[in-house]
Chain A
């Protein structure tokens, strides 16, 4: 057996196994989105710490020079920057609300109890309150995003 064939024979999916929710249930999509947004939020927070710490002192204080200030401000204060911020609002609210759903679910509190199965069968854990809460997380994220759009593109509120 060649080494390449040996790897293929092992057949463990690796990253593609959890990144691809296609053919699976709604919770699997939420799972993938939760993990991807988690990484995205971490990347954003690191970048955000960088750019906000840059402003400490301001253009007239002991901080960055006026040209640097203008350059960094220019990265955020435009339509593209605002779109990124709106995306951040979307994923942060979803990630937070869905995270609360997961914490409560993983305590086994909103999944229902084991029970004798009846056909046509649908798993109890996948038709319990937790599934409704995924929709609640999506709704909250969309409402928050709408609000962010109004603030960033709709003038002052």
Chain B
């Protein structure tokens, strides 16, 4: 059986002075993902490999790591598609390392929370106790749909050259979600959301390197969302009027 050379960056901040690369021989088979190879190495060769994964189908975003130099999901990357004899797995850049391939996404999730990633209504009573369902047309949905596919895996933020140098930059994931909610016709919180992001360390720190969109495994295209946010700021017009959000479908008994 053909063997795969799997190289894993190992580093325990509590006991190691520096990261080191360790090579494992793994039996290679057709259709094998990088996660399969890592699990084989962990189960049969070195039980100490630190590895995080869950769904194995690119839905949970747990197994993001740098594979052969580029951020990818280990479960969504087949060994064959890499076209290399050697697979090198390293932790995601720009995230603190907990151990080996496991990175700390805590600050990343915090950035996400800071852009108010939910529909906001002017009416506090309506916000907590909606009187009905808010309606969208298909074309209004298509404006935000691809941004809703984000699984918060951190690949975009890991690839971003601005995140690499500016700790206060929210990162492509959070900004793409800011666009996703601001452009949603059911949302009325765009102005407040943008007041936070229209600053030195906000959307204007993005210089459109496009790497976030390049590495995104879910087709979110964060770079597009961020540029569209800039467009809304520069044009002085919100993505939609506040009145757009008034179309509410109420259950039959409430309509009477």
- A38-69, CB < 8 A from B: none
Q: Identify A106's interface contact among B95, B167, B219, B227, CB under 8 A.
A: B227
B18 nearest in chain A by CB position: A8
A116 to B159, CA, bound (A): 24
Q: Is the CB of B162 within 8 A of A18?
A: yes
> What would 19 more interface pairs be, CB under 8 Å, given A107-B230, A114-B228, A121-B219?
A9-B11, A11-B94, A11-B95, A11-B96, A14-B165, A17-B163, A17-B165, A18-B209, A28-B211, A32-B209, A108-B227, A109-B231, A111-B228, A114-B146, A114-B221, A123-B210, A125-B227, A126-B213, A126-B223
Q: Does A80 contact B (CB under 8 A)?
A: no
A23 to B234, CA, bound (A): 33
Which one of B28-36, B39-47, B120-128, B137-145 contacts A? B137-145
Q: Does B19 contact A (CB under 8 A)?
A: yes
Q: Is the CB of A125 within 8 A of B69?
A: no
Residues from chain B with Cβ under 8 Å of A16 in the complex: 164
Residues from chain A with Cβ under 8 Å of B163 in the complex: 12, 17
A116 to B143, CA, bound (A): 8
- What residues of chain A have their CB less than 8 Å away from a CB belonging to chain B? 1-2, 4-6, 8-18, 21-25, 27-28, 31-32, 34-35, 102, 105-109, 111-117, 121, 123-126
Residues from chain B with Cβ under 8 Å of A115 in the complex: 142, 146
A53 to B132, CA, bound (A): 73
- What residues of chain B have their CB less than 8 Å away from a CB belonging to chain A? 11, 13-14, 16-19, 68-70, 91-97, 103, 142-147, 149, 159, 161-165, 167, 183, 206-211, 213-216, 219, 221, 223-225, 227-228, 230-231, 234
Q: Is the CB of A18 within 8 A of B145?
A: no
Q: Is the CB of A105 within 8 A of B214?
A: no
Q: Is the CB of A1 within 8 A of B13?
A: yes
Q: Identify A31's interface contact among B94, B183, B209, CB under 8 A.
A: B209
A35 to B162, CA, bound (A): 12
Q: Is the CB of B94 within 8 A of A12?
A: yes
Closest beta carbon of chain B to A97's beta carbon, Å: 15
Closest beta carbon of chain B to A143's beta carbon, Å: 25
Residues from chain A with Cβ under 8 Å of B214 in the complex: 24-25, 27-28, 123, 126
A114 to B213, CA, bound (A): 12
Residues from chain A with Cβ under 8 Å of B231 in the complex: 107-109
Closest beta carbon of chain A to B30's beta carbon, Å: 20
A27 nearest in chain B by CB position: B210
A91 to B46, CA, bound (A): 50
Residues from chain B with Cβ under 8 Å of A102 in the complex: 207-208
A125 to B227, CA, bound (A): 9
The 5 A-B pairs of least Cβ separation, nearest first, read: A17-B164, A18-B161, A108-B231, A27-B210, A117-B219
